[in-house]
Amino acid sequence: MFATATRNFVEEVDRGRSLIPVSSLNDTISLLTVVIKKKRYWLWQKPKYLPTDFTLNDILAGGTPIQPDITESEFIKYNGTFGDNIQGNVGANFIQNNVSVEGKDTSKLQSSFGSLKKEELGMPKLIKDSKERLLDMSHCLVEQTMRNNKQVFGIVKERILTTQPCSVIEEVQKEGQFGGMLTVCGAKVTKVSLKENASLSKDSNVTMEIPPHTTLAYALIELEVKHDGHFKLCLMSTVSGGFEEVDSNGRLAPLHHSEKVDFRPVLEEFKEYFKVLSALPSQTKSSLLLQITEVIDDRTALSLLQNSLHHLCYGGVSASVEEHQQQIQDILDLVAQSGASKDAVIKALHLVLSAVDEMSNKCLALLRMCCSSALLPDLELLVQCLLGDGQLPLTAMRQTTLEEEVFDRVQCLFSSSNVFLKKDGDSLRTEVQQEAGNLPIILCIALRGLASLSQ
């Protein structure tokens, strides 16, 4: 809830620039705090940021502690309300059952942060004071971080914090009516059973009180670290930090820098993943799509699901799923029924949900509204159009997709990923906007993966 509120805040005031939202109230972040920037498995994924309990002074080798210049200024007064109201009727055809679902979901997240202030480091003094200083290469944090060439040191140079007690309020109301019978079965036990004319209702109202001087977002300056402990501050956003490495012949290897991704050849490489999902039994695909749709716009559940799939694929520490245990376990149980192809299905879903997890909150809300077996095949055609010559005849699309309300929603979905979509005479035209970054590849992977489950 707090993570969603800070992410909304950053998307509104600094989208795509330097601010990083704080994800936990347990994170204590001040100026000069050392944050580990961890590159993700897929090149197009945004990195994870892991605040530590140390400051730059803690990992310097001897000498006088750096006393930075700090300036404070008023930032903005911020009160934001985010929510959606989704209503609809869905008909789903399963192998032995037909199901009709009528639902109404209302959610609202109100963030009343009030007057915020900004603290910044004086960079000229920091550059002067850090010149010729060395990191303590025997410090446990330095040793453990440099073992992984995907991890980089960053120092907090700016933070946005509250000045008064404030609150985050979340209200959720879900209502549904189900006709027919839907049963999702495991190997031995039925996980979900919704019987004739069943109804479901869920309400929640949670208020979180946030104390003054709480950091909501921060910005980093990365470090280029030499093998002998010398370091430089990466003053430009185009310059990435990292640890200098020594190769097997004792020669110094260059520091790692970020890579740009051309999404067309990458999509070609990933087509086998989508084939794996398309080859699943019809009932399994329908059930997976239904279950995934339920968590798509729940940022916490989505991230935990993606983390669980990463753990199954590549090992590492698995996050606790606690409140969302049953939702996530139901999806993992469906995957476990894939038989000999289970490992391939896990990797394919990890790819797709890693892309979905990179989307903005607005994009996730739009994606959920587009997650129907009737609409997803048309969205797949638009992806093919984007990868091809950018032109698609209107006759290739279903008439319901071209209706004003639905098409407006699809346009907004593509636009939120920096893809231009427009009706042009008797054709549709798609075009990647300038400075689109990796958003188009994220959209294409998400839509192709979900469409594979709708076939």
pLDDT tens for residues 265-308?
778 888 899 999 999 999 899 999 999 998 887 887 888 888 88
- Residue 180 lies inside a defined structural domain of this protein: no
Number of domains into which the chain is organized? 2
Burial of 311-341, coded b for 16+ CB within 10 Å and e otherwise, reads ebeeeeeeeebeebeebbebbbbbbebbeee
- In this structure, is residue 232 part of a structural domain? yes
Q: Domain check: are 303 and 444 in the same one?
A: yes
| 143 and 13 housed in the same domain | yes
Q: What pTM did the predictor assign?
A: 0.71
Q: Are residues 297 and 423 in the same domain?
A: yes
- Given 253, 276, 307, which residue is the final one in a domain? 253
Amino acid 42: pLDDT: 82
29 and 133 together in one domain:
yes
One domain for residues 241 and 366: no
Among 427, 421, 426, which residue's Cα sits nearest to residue 444?
421
Q: Are 267 and 150 within one domain?
A: no
Q: Is residue 246 part of a domain?
A: yes
Question: Which of the four pLDDT bands, split at 50, 70 and 90, describes residue 113?
Answer: confident
Q: Is residue 178 part of a domain?
A: no
**pLDDT value for 102:** 46
> pLDDT per residue over 219-269, tens digit each?
999 999 998 999 999 988 778 889 987 554 544 444 444 445 566 777 888
Q: Looking at the domain assignment, is residue 152 inside a domain?
A: yes
The last residue of one of the domains, among 253, 288, 320, is 253
Its domain, for residue 326, covers: 263-454
**Taking 90 as the threshold, does the pLDDT of residue 114 lie above it?**
no
The predicted model gives 190-211 an average pLDDT of 52
* Structural domain includes residue 285: yes
Identity of the highest mean pLDDT range in 194-198, 263-267, 271-275, 315-319: 271-275
Distance CA 376, CA 373 (A): 6
Q: What is the dihedral of CA 306, 309, 314, 319, to 10 degrees?
A: 70
Residue 143's pLDDT band, with cuts at 50, 70 and 90, is: very high
